[in-house]
Structure 1
Amino acid sequence: MQNNSSKKIDLLADPIPATLKKMTVPMLIGMITLMLFNLVDTFFVSLLGTDPLAAISFTFPVTFTVISLAIGLSIGTSAVIAKALGSGDLAQARFDGVVALIVSACFVAVLAFIGYLSIDYIFALLGASQTLMPYIHDYMAVWFIGSVILITPMIGNAVLRASGDTKTPSIIMGFAGIVNAILDPMLIFGFGPIPAMGIKGAAVASVIAWSSAVVLILYILISQKKLLSLDAGQQTFMRAARKILKIGVPAASANMLTPIAMAVMTAMVAKHGDTAVAAFGVGSRIESIACLVVLALSMTLPPFVSQNFGAGKIERVEEAYKTALKFILGWQLGIYLVLVASSYWLSRAFASDPHVIEVIQLFMWILPLGYGIQGIIILSNSSFNALHLPMNALLLSIVRLFIFYLPFAYLGNVIAGLEGLFIGAVIGNVFTAAIAYYWFTHSLVNVSKQNKKQECTV
């Protein structure tokens, strides 16, 4: 008799709440594991001294740009393959997976090559001093070369998620994180015959960890899951590539808007002094942890949406979307209450300066109140991509950040200072969430009408 726990998830038939839970929990565990090992990475570099730590901090905007492209392409991959699987075309899904791996590697290779040749120019533009440049060169020269390897497990995991498997990607993420954490101290400080490489060792450890993930993901996709095939069938390479890029490029563009908006937000906070910036930085790190469930759902809901969209089951798409929103609103309200209750201790754990403590507490009393509302925006955005409406998702990101979030924060700052800035940001998210919900549900109605017309013509 087959064990129910090992039964393959059927995104087209299984109960919706249970299915979303089964998909999201493994993804959440994988994300937490990866986050913990990234913290370990930063910790070991910090032991080298202030200059190496400052150098690696300068690399974050650049590496995030490449990773944003990779994430966007993985969103396009997941949406296209999940729709093909939902419509019952396994051969098309398998070929799409191969095309996604090739196209993504080419895009990242071109971006990495340009970045490699422009290291001095890019980091001088970012304000890095000549003292830090040797450290930045040591790290980024290796990282740019290795980024071509990074894309394969990201796209491979997207293929697995599209099939409804989120457990395997979480295991691969955790495995790569463990390899990285083991190699970090060995390569940074030296171990036996291995010479100390300093900050370059951190980059080498990451590349080796990614390489191990590549071997694992390709073995699983080709030998175990049989989700890749060179048989194009009725398709052409260019047609498959266009499908993926049609969603992937707008998704990547939307991802790249976030650091721009955060830079503007930080500049507004900076008007209140360095202590306010320090407190805002702490608050932002708390936010990334407090919103982990939202981010996990934003990766697991799209495959469900795309498969059922491909199968023409729009009523299941709507039910899953609304179920996810109800859960996130309740979950994030609980997170808000926990943060408010623990704000006194948390603020003192991160800071000793009275003003910094005060601003951290102010942050925790106001901004987390809107995390549930923000979740509606994030899930609507990812669901638009899953519904093959990538320009809607991109436009929603633009509307959120540059029509509501930043303008309302600026207005609040003018009226009531830092407290007004935080309140304005929450109000901006409320307006955007209302638009996102109306827009997505209205889009579902239109998609349903189109499907019925197609059925009538057939």
Structure 2
Amino acid sequence: MTMPMIVGMIMLMTFGLVDTFFIGLLGTQELAAISFTFPVTFTVISLNIGLGIGTSAVIAKFLGAGDSIKAKETATGALMLTFVLAICLAVIGVFTIDPIFRLLGADNNLIPLIQEYMVVWYAAGLFLAMPMVGNSVLRASGDTKTPSYVMAFGGLVNVVLDPILIFGLGPIPALGIQGAAIATLIAWAIGLFYILYLLAIKRQLMEPKLLNWQELKRSTGGILRIGLPAAGANMLTPIATGVVTAIVATYGNTAVAAWGVGGRLESIASIVVLSLSMSLPPFISQNFGANKLSRVNQAYTLCIKFVIAWQFLIFVIIAFLAPYIAAVFTDEIEVANTIVLFLLIVPLGYGLQGLVILTNSSFNAMHMPMSALILNSIRLFAFFVPVCYLGSQWFGLKGIFWATVIANCLTALVAYVWCKNILNIKFKHTEEIV
């Protein structure tokens, strides 16, 4: 189940890096502007991820219990709910661009660039949200290949359009940073129409109609019970990242640009973890619905061992290639040196971060979203933000980078012990019932 997701994520993240590369060619100002947008855009994406988690967990449990009718109704309700929430977020987002980004530390030179990008990005939010939830429906049914194809094709469209719209071609004017957002909008729109056709007509995994109020209320109740805490847990990450970005911003736009590049590289370095976090929950939910808790425990343990070993290997590779990676994104020596410093320190904690991510996914899959929310809150606001602040005060920018590793280490210990205890309790309870 995970292998197709890895392929799709590799394609998507690679295209995301290419996106950053083209924007970097415009200059450090544009690169810094796009770096400021990451916490905000990921906050919106996190809501969609939360809805997808809730959708996948509920539908997978219905399918594990053999109730396909409720599964189809839930899929329809999930997409209708996503449509409404995406529109609301877009309207709120457009009217709050200036105050939010000033709060994050963006200066007067960057605000116009950020506005150019974010107005279009918010408009594209609808075309992002519905395919993400639609892909969750497919994953809940055990199909991870199709979502990976959709991600890969969307990324390909985006990377083809990026240079055309950013720099111009023939009659198409150079749109700069806004061109990157328009390319993203077009790519997501294509994905939306294909997913709707697939779910409603070809696979018949949803009802090809609008639900009435009672049906909508019934079908979305379970999704919201899991999805809202899951979204909250995910949204805490960009909020905390935004706070740390503001701390990084005190070291200048050069530091913010390097921090943004490092964040994009973190996404591609964590592809296997992110893929597992999407394929593991349907497996856990279906076995949870079928009351096969021993398989849940085995899957969780195996994934954790693999991720720790895999991400350490990734760290070694990144550390070796750090100067060459930095040279790809910038010609400015100061920015390149800061990127190298990031890559020699922060990736050391990616394996431990992966453990936390998979534990959160497992909690949500077992219909324990509040545990995931509490765990993420501990990670970010008991460890990540305070330790980064102290690291900044005591050791400067380098202290911030080391703080991320320390925060991941502390949270990983809490996450593993917590999840293992819960699985043992549930397993003993099941044995007593039997």
TM-score range, shorter-chain basis? 0.7 to 0.9
TM-score, L = length of structure 2? 0.85
The within-5 A match list for 1:340-359 is 340-343=319-322, 346=325
**Aligned twin of 2:303:** 324
**Aligned twin of 1:153:** 131
Contact 1:91 1:229 in 2 (8 A): no
**Aligned twin of 1:82:** 60
Q: 1:277 and 1:46 mapped to 2: Cα distance?
A: 13
Q: 1:133 and 1:40 mapped to 2: Cα distance?
A: 23
More off after superposition, 129-138 vs 248-257: 129-138
For CA contacts below 8 A with separation 6 or more, give which structure has more relative contact order. 2
Structure 2 CA distance for partners of 1:399 and 1:226, relative to 1, 3 Å: same
Q: 2:110 and 2:256 mapped to 1: Cα distance?
A: 23
- Deviation of residue 372 (structure 1)? 1.6
Of 432, 445, 451, which aligns to 2:411? 432
Aligned length: 432
**Aligned twin of 2:148:** 170
- Deviation of residue 340 (structure 1)? 3.7
- Deviation of residue 368 (structure 1)? 2.8
**Aligned twin of 1:336:** 315
Contact 2:341 2:398 in 1 (8 A): yes
Q: Which amino acid aligns with 2:369?
A: P
Contact 1:69 1:108 in 2 (8 A): no
- What SS does structure 1 have at the residue aligned with 2:204? coil
- Deviation of residue 139 (structure 1)? 3.9
Q: 1:379 and 1:284 mapped to 2: Cα distance?
A: 19
TM-score, L = length of structure 1? 0.81
Highest Rg: 1 or 2?
1
Structure 2 CA distance for partners of 1:200 and 1:410, relative to 1, 3 Å: closer
Structure 2 CA distance for partners of 1:422 and 1:182, relative to 1, 3 Å: closer
Structure 2 CA distance for partners of 1:333 and 1:168, relative to 1, 3 Å: same
More off after superposition, 384-393 vs 46-55: 46-55
Q: 2:364 and 2:322 mapped to 1: Cα distance?
A: 36
**Aligned twin of 2:426:** 447
Structure 2 CA distance for partners of 1:362 and 1:45, relative to 1, 3 Å: closer
More off after superposition, 52-61 vs 297-306: 52-61
Of 154, 173, 183, which aligns to 1:205? 183
Of 10, 34, 43, which aligns to 1:65? 43
Q: Percent identity?
A: 54
**2:219 equivalent to 1:240:** yes
CA RMSD in angstroms, aligned pairs only: 3.4
Structure 2 CA distance for partners of 1:97 and 1:410, relative to 1, 3 Å: same
Deviations 1:188-232 (A, max 9, x none): 555566566555444333222222111211222123322112698
Q: Which amino acid aligns with 1:150?
A: L
**Aligned twin of 1:382:** 361
More off after superposition, 129-138 vs 256-265: 129-138
Deviations 1:9-52 (A, max 9, x none): xxxxxxxxxxxxxx222212212212232334445555666766
The within-5 A match list for 1:206-221 is 206-221=184-199
Contact 1:29 1:170 in 2 (8 A): yes
More off after superposition, 313-322 vs 440-449: 440-449
Q: 1:118 and 1:417 mapped to 2: Cα distance?
A: 31
Deviations 1:236-293 (A, max 9, x none): 4212212111111112222222223234444555677777666555544443332221
- Deviation of residue 362 (structure 1)? 5.1
Unaligned runs of 5+ in 1: 1-22
More off after superposition, 147-156 vs 368-377: 368-377
Q: Which amino acid aligns with 1:380?
A: T
